[in-house]
Amino acid sequence: MIDSPVTARTKPQMQPLSPIARSTLYATIVLLLLSLVFGGWGLWKVFGGTEPDRPTPAQMKAQQRKIDQLEQRAATLARSDQISRDANGDLQSTLAERDEEIAGLRADVAFYERFVGATAQRRGLAVHELQLQPSSDLSWHFVATLTQNLNRGAVNAGRLQVSVEGTRAGKLQRLAWADLRQQPNAPGVEYSFKYFQQVEGDLVLPVDFQPTRVAVRLVPQSGTPTEQSFSWADSQVGAVPAASSQ
């Protein structure tokens, strides 16, 4: 009997690394260690609570210059805005004054047309308006607007006198022109016009006298005198005058 040969099993043997492979392995290990070291250092810088780098003096000066420039620009813009606001306020005030002047001129034109216009109603000598304004405690300044368009082109001339009705010590009293002027036989204020004229004068009231009505008497050089009375309160400047009565 022939014995069958027995195949012998041999253990694999590791081949030694070449010099190049060993160098590559060593480099990989070194790089891995360096990566771990630098990664740990980075984490320590981020989470380790270290203070940030402080700016240099040059950087601080540059930042301060920038801040100063921004503050200067803000101040300039604020001044410009204030100037614009002041200019706008002045413009609005000027426009309001112009509107007031235009309204006054329109009222004057309407007034002139009422007496001079072709369709104006013919009226004789009259007091169109009376205004009173205090000069002191007892002294008053009056402005009477006289009108006429009945005799167009003709000159109306004469004198104006004022009298005041009121109470004093509980009694009715009428002060004549001489009493108001504190001058015996005081002449009236002269007037002379074709269509209209404003006549001014001053009067003085006695102490404790309470005025209620004021009367204006026109004495023309030729013709019949005319008199109109007005409420004292309504005749004061700023009040809405009531209709006058003859």
The pair of structure tokens assigned to 217 is 């008497």
How many Å apart are CA 214 and CA 236, to the nearest integer? 11
pLDDT above 50 for 126: yes
Q: pLDDT band for position 168 (50/70/90)?
A: very high
Chain centroid, CA 12 distance in Å? 106
Whether the predicted pLDDT of 117 surpasses 50: yes
Read off the pTM.
Answer: 0.53
Higher-confidence residue: 118 or 145? Answer: 145
pLDDT at residue 245 is higher than 50: no
115 and 216 in contact (C-beta within 8 Å)? no
Condensed to tens digits (0 to 9), the pLDDT of residues 193-234 reads: 988 899 999 999 998 999 999 999 999 998 889 999 999 999
Per-residue pLDDT tens digits for 59-114: 888 888 888 888 888 888 888 888 988 888 888 889 998 888 898 888 777 766 76
How many whole angstroms from its chain centre is CA 189?
43
Tokens of 65: 């210059």
- Tell whether the torsion through CA atoms of 106, 237, 215 and 241 is positive or negative: positive
| Residues linked to residue 219 through DSSP beta bridges, in sequence order | 159
